[in-house]
Amino acid sequence: MEQQSRRRKPELVCPAGSLRALQLAVDSGADAVYLGLRNQTNARAFAGMNFDQAQIREGVRYAHDRGAKVLMALNTFAAAEDPQPWFDAVEQAAGLGADALIVADSAVLDYAHRHHPQLRLHLSVQASATSYEALEYYRQRYGIQRAVLPRVLTLSQVAHLARNTLAEVEVFGFGSLCVMVEGRCALSSYATGSSPNNAGVCSPAAAVRWTEREDGSVDARLGGVLIDSYAPGEARAYPTLCKGRFVVDGRRGYALEEPTSLNTLELLPELMDHGVAAVKIEGRQRSAQYVSEVTRVWREAIDAAAADPGYRVRDAWSARLARWAEGQQHTLGAYDRPWR
């Protein structure tokens, strides 16, 4: 079964880690925003972030009044001994008027499909579905209408999937990258005893310790493991094992992954030609200002790519995004593999 690809203008899906970020995303041109509850059912369960029911209700009203959609992320894997919090989250989303659920766990997909068949289901990137056979299984078995593709796929692989599934395809366009395969990361659990795939956070706050030395430098530890040291006055990053700096063979540096941001502005015409339904901006853990500025750039770029066959990335867009890039660096990630 092959679906013919067709050029389409993709939706712009933007992060909302707070009500303010949601409002700014909508005002800046997002077609949809995605958010999560203040518990382990979503993969960005950071302290001080996410939404209670009253805030979701207000966010849904704000977005809907302005023609935008609200997608609710239930994208961690349910605990086998007690999946009820994930099922309760499905009920809350349906009752609060969410336009779709972003789900990874098959038990949660099954529950939502059976109890709320009218509610759109989007397969989370956490499900790590990298073949059209996998997408078709989820579509036929659980009724998913869209799949968020993992960031390990090349552009040609994305096109192949889009041609051969009846599910819509969503890809990441901008934001932090991870060396791990989505939904399969177990690295931080060796230091913390808590899996990010279940707990919703790579570095639980209880496992993070900052220690300032006499010279003003600061050590960052995760579960007692020293993962980075910062010079006096140096900006501190969110402490994760994969992006820590370690001494290897006498040299200190990023042993696993150097911080850099995915930026696919130049690929927009190709993504549209392949029939990609939505472009997603990563960053629910980032500031509301980040959400606003990145959304504005991508709104302008998508509109320009849809209107102008001679589309080119504008220098002003690159300059505006550069200040928000992790490590102040950009990459096309797996989309471009020149060594292949």
CA pair distance 83, 77, nearest whole angstrom: 9
pLDDT in the model for residue 340: 57
pLDDT in the model for residue 338: 63
Instruction: Report the run of H or E that residue 134 belongs to, with start and end.
Output: helix 132-142
SS3 136: helix
Task: State pTM to two decimals.
Answer: 0.89
SS3 73: strand
Name the token pair of 175: 């934001």
In the predicted model, residues of the chain with pLDDT beneath 70 are 1-6, 183, 328, 337-340
What is the number of other CB atoms lying within 10 angstroms of the CB of residue 62? 17
Report all structural domains of the chain as residue ranges with CATH numbers, in order of start.
Answer: 11-177+260-335 (3.20.20.70), 193-254 (no CATH)
Q: Where are the alpha helices (DSSP H) in the chain?
A: 19-27, 53-65, 84-96, 106-115, 132-142, 155-163, 189-192, 196-199, 268-273, 288-307, 315-322
| Strand 251-254 with 245-248, pairing | antiparallel
DSSP 111-122: HHHHH-TTSEEE
pLDDT in the model for residue 259: 78
Name the token pair of 194: 């808590």
pLDDT in the model for residue 5: 47
CA pair distance 295, 231, nearest whole angstrom: 33
pLDDT in the model for residue 243: 84
pLDDT in the model for residue 260: 81
